[in-house]
Amino acid sequence: MAQWTPFPHASDYRFDAGSTKKQWARLHAGDAEPCPRDPAVLEAWSLFHAGDFQRATEAGLSAGGAGVTVANKAMAIYATYLEPREKVRLDLFLQVAARAEAQAKAEPDNANAWYWHAYALGRYSQGISVAKALAQGLGGKVKDSLEKAIALAPKHADARIALGAFHAEVIDKVGSLIGGMTYGAKKDTGLKLFQEALKLNPGSAIAMIEYANALVMLDGDKKMKEATQLYEKAAACDPLDAMERLDVDMARAELEEE
């Protein structure tokens, strides 16, 4: 594995098995992942929360089992926020999607196997263009996997965020008529999913960011003020770990550009 770009605030987030376990409920309010019993998997999660995404991926893959979920999350979050090379980023998303698909086949009741399959394919789709991805049939796969994740883990806030984004992106790219008829995308459903996500995980900066993006995609300038308020709220969040810090930094960067 080639050297990855380091997380820039590594010294700000320290985690070990004890602190990870103690703060598990808050750290995993988004993905509803159960706290692992395997010490090797818990160690991989500690590396993830501290922002050492490369070592978290390697440790998760070495641990196997539930460690595959850590590896998928670490690689997907790294690719989303820190990998500067487009080709490498897309390749990482495809790796996660393939690994998560195999995990879902082996463990069909594993909500996060379905979620990371959908997340990685969704980010890959954004990278190659949503219109192109829809033409390749990726839209249906993303939607199906997210719906499975929510059915298996009804408190999965992050799957709701991703599914809300799916509805908004499809309508934005192909319109509400074709989006609804061909892909089952509906504006009201998408917005409701974001609201549900924020009820489940009220402090989620990424939920606020994606909700804001969806409002602008679906309603344009009419919702710009509400979207900006959501970005400001996201930027004011107090991040508990490296991933949350990346979300907050993204919100702050967006506000600086306005």
Residue with tokens 């839209």: 139
Note whether residue 244 is domain-resident. Answer: yes
CA atoms within 13 A on the CB side of 49: 24
Q: How much of the chain exceeds pLDDT 90, in percent?
A: 79
Under 8 Å between Cβ of 218 and 169: no
CATH code, domain with 237: 1.25.40.920
- pLDDT digits over 217-242, tens only? 988 889 999 999 999 999 999 999 99
Closest CA to 77 of 16, 123, 24: 123
Looking at the structure of the chain, the number of domains it has is: 1
Is residue 199's pLDDT more than 70? yes
| Residue 234, domain extent | 17-257
Note whether residue 10 is domain-resident. Answer: no
Note whether residue 223 is domain-resident. Answer: yes
Note whether residue 213 is domain-resident. Answer: yes
Give the CA distances from residue 77 to residues 154, 177, 190, 221, in Å, rounded to whole numbers and listed in that order: 22, 33, 23, 30
CA distance 249 to 258: 15
Residue 133 has a pLDDT of 78
Q: Could you tell me the pTM of the whole model?
A: 0.94
Q: Any residues with CB less than 8 A from the CB of 22 and at least 6 apart, and which?
A: none
Residue 258 has a pLDDT of 66
Is residue 207's pLDDT more than 70? yes
3-state SS class at 185? coil
Note whether residue 12 is domain-resident. Answer: no
Residue 153 has a pLDDT of 98
CA distance 87 to 89: 5
Note whether residue 7 is domain-resident. Answer: no
Note whether residue 3 is domain-resident. Answer: no
Q: Average pLDDT, whole number, for the chain? A: 93
- pLDDT digits over 89-124, tens only? 999 999 999 999 999 999 999 999 999 999 999 999
Question: Would you mind telling me the total number of residues written for the chain in this entry?
Answer: 258
Q: How confident is the model at residue 187 (pLDDT cuts 50, 70, 90)?
A: confident
- pLDDT digits over 142-159, tens only? 999 999 999 999 999 999
Residue 248 has a pLDDT of 97
Residue 241 DSSP label: S
Name which residue leads in pLDDT, 119 or 170: 119
Note whether residue 76 is domain-resident. Answer: yes
